[in-house]
């Protein structure tokens, strides 16, 4: 396996070490206490089922492994508020610290200023990370099939539901899609970026859309840059779209979202 193909494995290893440190700083009981006192959950499932669309989950992140630093001056709350004003149905917050330069503090800050569903976008491999998400304001978590051992995805999915979290199960291949579909109430996320190589190809989204049952909520992720991309994927059956990089490259991400939504 090449260095390039090891990116996902390396990130998961780093996050495992990060969790070990976090457990020494904040106990499971503290996280459970914070999660249990929450009353304000917002449903992404409901947002993806209402309105004519397009329904875009807009992402806040400072950097990415494929693009490098996107926002030298980074204010996740201001960007999130601009997205909501522009018509985003949800906000995705990158909390991975090493390659995306994110943090749980970004999640907490965004949660305080928006009244739409918030997704914790990270490389989740342990129950502790689900507890963090529930405690610090997420409504939705992402589980990446390619990053998890067999059976681990189903276990984390069940645990997330017990914490009142909705789940996006992310796939890149037909084999991974089979795992995702077994998570009965999960949103299917088809990522056109191969997380092992970082290459993006929208044909992945078009091909996998043919194998997703009509009654399953599904979103397309990565490589979405134009209203034409949105229109094509919507016609292929996608209920929503997770978009970040193309918006964050623009000086005014909220304005860029309006353009993508066909409002400008």
Whether the predicted pLDDT of 1 surpasses 60? no
The β-bridge relationship of strands 63-64 and 68-69 is antiparallel
The CATH number given to whatever domain includes residue 154 is 3.20.20.70
> What's the pTM value of the predicted model, to 2 decimals?
0.95
Q: Which residue, among 166, 140, 143, 165, has the nearest Cα to 154 in the 3D structure?
A: 143
Element (H, E) at 12: helix 7-25
Q: What gap in Å lies between CA 176 and CA 190, rounded to an integer?
A: 10
Q: What gap in Å lies between CA 20 and CA 3, rounded to an integer?
A: 25
Domain span at residue 123 reads: 4-260
pLDDT 10s digits, 34-87: 999 998 899 999 999 987 779 999 999 999 988 889 998 999 999 999 999 999
Q: Which residue, among 180, 136, 173, 130, has the nearest Cα to 154 in the 3D structure?
A: 180
The predicted model gives 10-25 an average pLDDT of: 97
Whether the predicted pLDDT of 30 surpasses 50? yes
pLDDT 10s digits, 206-248: 999 999 999 999 999 999 999 999 999 999 999 999 999 999 9
Looking at the annotation, which residues are catalytic?
59, 61, 121, 170, 191, 221-222
Looking at the 3D structure of the chain, how many domains does it have? 1
pLDDT 10s digits, 93-142: 999 999 999 999 999 999 999 999 999 999 999 999 999 999 999 999 99
With beta carbons less than 8 A apart as the criterion, state whether 153 and 143 touch: yes
CA distance to 18, 24, 30, 98, 150, per residue, from 128 (Å): 11, 12, 11, 19, 19
């Amino acid at each position: 396996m090449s260095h390039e193909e090891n990116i996902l494995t390396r990130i998961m290893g780093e996050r495992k070490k990060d969790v070990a440190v976090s457990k020494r700083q904040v106990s499971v009981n503290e996280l459970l206490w914070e999660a249990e006192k929450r009353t304000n959950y917002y449903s992404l499932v409901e947002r993806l089922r209402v309105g004519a669309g397009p329904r875009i989950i807009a992402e806040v992140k400072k950097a990415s492994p494929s693009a490098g630093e996107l926002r030298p001056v980074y204010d996740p709350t201001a960007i999130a508020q601009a997205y909501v004003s522009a018509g985003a149905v949800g906000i995705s917050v990158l909390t991975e610290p090493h390659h995306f330069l994110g943090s749980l503090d970004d999640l907490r800050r965004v949660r305080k200023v928006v009244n739409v569903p918030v997704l914790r976008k990270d490389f989740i491999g342990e129950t502790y990370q689900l507890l963090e998400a529930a405690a610090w304001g997420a409504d939705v978590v992402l589980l990446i099939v390619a990053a998890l051992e067999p059976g681990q995805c189903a276990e984390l999915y069940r645990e997330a539901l017990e914490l009142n979290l909705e789940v996006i199960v992310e796939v890149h291949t037909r084999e991974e899609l089979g795992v995702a579909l077994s998570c009965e109430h999960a949103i299917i996320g088809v990522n056109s970026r191969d997380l092992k190589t970082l290459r993006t190809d929208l044909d992945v989204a078009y091909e996998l859309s043919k194998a997703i049952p009509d009654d399953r909520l599904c979103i397309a992720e990565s490589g979405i840059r134009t209203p034409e991309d949105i229109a094509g994927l919507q016609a292929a059956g996608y209920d929503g779209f997770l978009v970040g990089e193309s918006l964050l490259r623009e000086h005014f991400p909220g304005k860029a979202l309006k353009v993508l939504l066909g409002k400008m």
